[in-house]
């Protein structure tokens, strides 16, 4: 099997930086958003984000995959692709929460700033 050149892999990763950033942002926002939903501070509840996170977690722990994990690299790649795709969609569903959070933090930050 031919090895892919390193420069090609790096170029592909650079082209996908936006997706990696969105995945990280979804993971950072999901737990605080869940806390705010449980407290009743944030409404409407983004049920689709909760459903997609449940799907992502279920896919990780289920013994069945599209491509079995015993096929080393290829078996893990399908997990990364599917979980990444779901987290990317979750990030899109959290846009209202990001706006709400920035409005919530904005006035408080300006009140506490030194004059």
Please state the pTM of the whole predicted model. Answer: 0.67
How many of the other CB atoms lie within 10 Å of CB of 27? 13
Length of the chain: 115
What distance in Å separates the CA atoms of residue 21 and residue 100, rounded to the nearest whole number?
A: 20
List, in order, residues 6 or more apart from 71 with CB less than 8 Å away: none
Quote the CA–CA distance of 51 and 6 in Å, as a whole number. 37
pLDDT in tens, the chain (115 residues): 456 567 766 776 676 677 778 888 888 899 999 999 999 999 999 999 999 999 988 887 777 777 776 677 777 788 888 888 898 899 999 999 999 999 877 655 444 444 3
């Amino acid at each position: 099997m031919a090895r892919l050149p390193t420069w090609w892999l790096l170029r592909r990763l650079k082209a996908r930086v936006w997706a990696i950033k969105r995945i990280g942002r979804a993971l950072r926002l999901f737990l605080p958003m869940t806390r705010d939903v449980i407290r009743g501070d944030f409404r409407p509840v983004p049920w689709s984000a909760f459903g997609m996170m449940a799907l992502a977690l279920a896919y990780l722990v289920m013994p069945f995959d599209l491509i079995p994990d015993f096929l080393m690299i290829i078996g893990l790649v399908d997990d990364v692709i599917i979980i990444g795709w779901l987290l990317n969609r979750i990030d899109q569903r959290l846009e209202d929460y990001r706006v709400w959070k920035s409005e919530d933090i904005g006035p408080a930050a300006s009140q506490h700033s030194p004059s």
